[in-house]
Structure 1
Amino acid sequence: MPEGHSIHRLALAHRALLAGRPVEVDSPQGRFAEGAALVTGRVLEDTSAYGKHLFHHYAGDLIVHVHLGLYGKFATGAPPVPAPAGLIRMRLAGDRGWLELRGPTACAVLNPHEVALIHARLGPDPLRDDADPAPAYARIARSGAPLLQLIMDQSVLAGPGLIYATEVLFRAGLLPTTPGRALSAAGFTEIWEDLRALMKDGVAQGRIDTVHVRHTPEAMRRAPRVDRHGGEVYVYRRAGQPCLVCGTAVAKGTMAGRNTYWCPTCQS
């Protein structure tokens, strides 16, 4: 499932491609046909992201909500719109370009009240400047659940997934299994600010880099990381490899059915 920074990147890209003009919307697959009929021909006024949720805001207070889930993906291009190929849930076309959506978990037309309900069930998004982190810490401070699990819980913090959660805990020197109630207010502030910085960099760069400058391949004279997720990281998917800070072999375990990575020396 995409991490939150990639959804914010999509919102920016879709705004640049289509916002401010009328768009034609259809559903070659047919599963979004009724929704497409409601918004086609309207001006796409804006786009926004909240955590892992994407919103297209149309004239008339109609909002298309998209959640990619595990398999959803977008494709975009310049005019003309190509002939449909595969199972396209939603297709948008404007005078500057087109986009196609395949395989999302959710794709529906909502009203502002329904969008507000989605926002209400999510925790604060580190990428939104209007976010208030206080409710997140209140949830964490009274929980005995592991910090890794809490950071990935979208009702606690909206946007971070396994990579950001794993890496921010390494950078904070905390084990993934640390109970939420053991995190101090100052410790939470450090994690929150670190997430904001790392995820904003992810929006700007289009990849997840979490290592400090002194631990980059250039500074350490090592080969760049080769992984389908890209980016330079400390422990995520580096099991058995030496920690970039202390040289200890990175450990791997499982938590709630997800792989977990940490440095036994740097995190305690």
Structure 2
Amino acid sequence: MPEGHSVHRIARQFTRNFVGRQIHASSPQGRFAEGAAVLDGRETLRAMAVGKQMFLEFEGDTWLRVHLGLYGAWDFAGEILVDPTIAAANGRMGQTNQRGTVLDAEAAVLDEAGENSLTSIGAPRRARVHVRMSEQTSPLADDDAEWPPPVVGQVRLRLLTESTCADLRGPTACVLQTPDEMLATVAKLGPDPLVGDPAEGEERFVAAVRRKPTAIALLLMDQAVVSGIGNVYRAEMLFRARLDPHTPGRDVPEEIVRALWSDWVALLSIGVETGQMMTMDGLSPEGYRAAMASRDDRHWVYHRAGLPCRVCGTEIALEEIGARKLYWCPSCQR
């Protein structure tokens, strides 16, 4: 499931390519045909993310709420506009990671999945350019390629401008909402550092954690407590705080709860900027490039079950909690 940084990056891509433009909406799969008919011909007014959910506002007091869930993904094709805070990526955003852009290929740092970590969507760019991308992960050969691109697979919703196409596949939720319904949905979500006042978000987070007997490992994954944290960030934040994941929220000292929020603020910003869940710090430039090129080198404990802790050498433990895998160090996190 994409974590919060990915959804913010997707929202930024929609802001750049769709906001202010009239769209043609369709549901090739047919499961969202009525909703697509409502959206068809309307102008996109706003795109925003709150945690793992994205909201697109259209003229006529209409919002589209999308929750990608475990299997959802957005595929972008066509002319992708790039600016200093949003870079173009080939292919899919969501259920799989963003692929690298064709720009600055000589400086690319590709991981084992072929992802160009340093130049994917959301990474800093020096100039605005237009890049034509394909449904796959390589650029279209020329401007004469078929437009709009052919529908491939089960596309729940296609949003199309004169030059950019976004295909939505396999989401957990794809629904139209009124403004009041959208606000009610957001009100049920925990604070997101990139939405609203971070100081107010911190107070909400601290209050929610400190009154609950639930294990902190479960609270960090509860989207009503804090928005956007998933399995990777959960494991890494608990290790960085040297916090036993089984500790009841109400027993976690307030200063540590506040430190968790500050760490989430920092890690989310890094994720949005780089497109990667980079959770190791203090790396040399060479170490940083190596970590960006290998997912196994980006994290302290995540996906390292049975391997020695990078700090103390203790074997990293793996257990299931809340139907999700939890990685942690039994020695450092006591």
How far has the Cα of 1:48 moved from its partner? 0.3
2:168 partner SS: strand
The answer to whether the 8 Å contact 1:5/1:203 transfers is yes
Alpha carbons of structure 1 residues 84 and 166: separation in structure 2 relative to 1, 3 Å = same
How far has the Cα of 1:222 moved from its partner? 8.3
Residue in 2 that maps onto 1:67: 67
Q: CA RMSD in A?
A: 2.1
Q: Residues 88-237 of structure 1: matches in 2 within 5 Å?
A: 88-131=155-198, 132-214=201-283, 218=287, 226-227=294-295, 232-237=298-303
Residue in 2 that maps onto 1:254: 320
How far has the Cα of 1:126 moved from its partner? 2.5
The answer to whether the 8 Å contact 1:216/1:232 transfers is no
The answer to whether the 8 Å contact 2:74/2:167 transfers is yes
Residues 202-247 of structure 1, C-alpha deviations (whole Å, 9 max, x = no match): 011011010112488728x9887844xx660000110121222222
Alpha carbons of structure 1 residues 6 and 211: separation in structure 2 relative to 1, 3 Å = same
1:207 partner SS: coil
The answer to whether the 8 Å contact 1:208/1:231 transfers is no
Is structure 2 residue 10 aligned with structure 1 residue 10? yes
1:91 partner SS: strand
The answer to whether the 8 Å contact 1:215/1:245 transfers is no
Residue in 2 that maps onto 1:40: 40
Structure 2, gaps ≥5 residues long? 80-146
Structure 1 runs of 4+ with >6 Å offset: 221-225
Looking at structure 2, the residues matched to 211 and 150 of structure 1 have their Cα atoms a distance apart, in angstroms, of 22
Structure 1, gaps ≥5 residues long? none
Identical positions, percent: 41
TM-score by length of 2: 0.75
How far has the Cα of 1:45 moved from its partner? 1.2
Alpha carbons of structure 1 residues 217 and 240: separation in structure 2 relative to 1, 3 Å = farther
Looking at structure 2, the residues matched to 248 and 90 of structure 1 have their Cα atoms a distance apart, in angstroms, of 48
Residue in 2 that maps onto 1:87: 154
How far has the Cα of 1:248 moved from its partner? 2.1
Residue in 1 that maps onto 2:51: 51
2:17 partner SS: helix
Residue in 2 that maps onto 1:265: 331
Looking at structure 2, the residues matched to 20 and 212 of structure 1 have their Cα atoms a distance apart, in angstroms, of 39
- Count of equivalent residues: 265
Between stretches 200-209 and 139-148, larger displacement belongs to 139-148
1:159 partner SS: coil
Looking at structure 1, the residues matched to 222 and 24 of structure 2 have their Cα atoms a distance apart, in angstroms, of 36
- With a CA cutoff of 8 Å and minimum separation of 6, indicate the structure with the bigger relative contact order: 2
Residue in 1 that maps onto 2:308: 242
Between stretches 232-241 and 123-132, larger displacement belongs to 123-132
TM-score by length of 1: 0.92
